[in-house]
Amino acid sequence: MTIFGGYDQPQTLVVHDRDTWVRTWSDIQRRVTPAPALPDVDFSKDLVVVASLGSRPSSGFDIVLTSASEANGVVTVEVQARSPGPNCVVAAVVTSPVDAARLTRRSGAVVFHTTPVVVDCPNGP
């Protein structure tokens, strides 16, 4: 979604209503000018999940919501927290990767399962 998100600490969020979505979108986009328009979400049918990697010291970091599944009334959101490998060329710029996704609304719990992934850059220095 964005590498210049507004969250300095890693976090995960589940958004169930428009007011919270407005605040969350504003937080996500606080370092982006002009901020993109708020995506429309029908919270009677959907919810939004958000994952943030927090501040990182360079480019090359990313966070990706890869899938969601439901079992026994619990929705599990799979997240990859990607970091650059030792051969990757990165820029010396602080980033704060964030990803968000719309899911069909469920009444049960939502849990996040984060897997760290080191990205191999075979064409590095």
* pLDDT score at 5: 81
**Span 89-104, pLDDT tens digits:** 999 999 999 999 999 9
12 CB neighbour count, 10 Å cutoff: 16
Q: How far is C-alpha 19 from the chain's CA centre?
A: 19
In which residue are the tokens 């429309």 written? Answer: 40
Residue 77 confidence (pLDDT) above 80: yes
CA–CA gap between residue 54 and residue 105 (Å, rounded): 26
pTM over 0.75: yes
40-47 mean pLDDT: 97
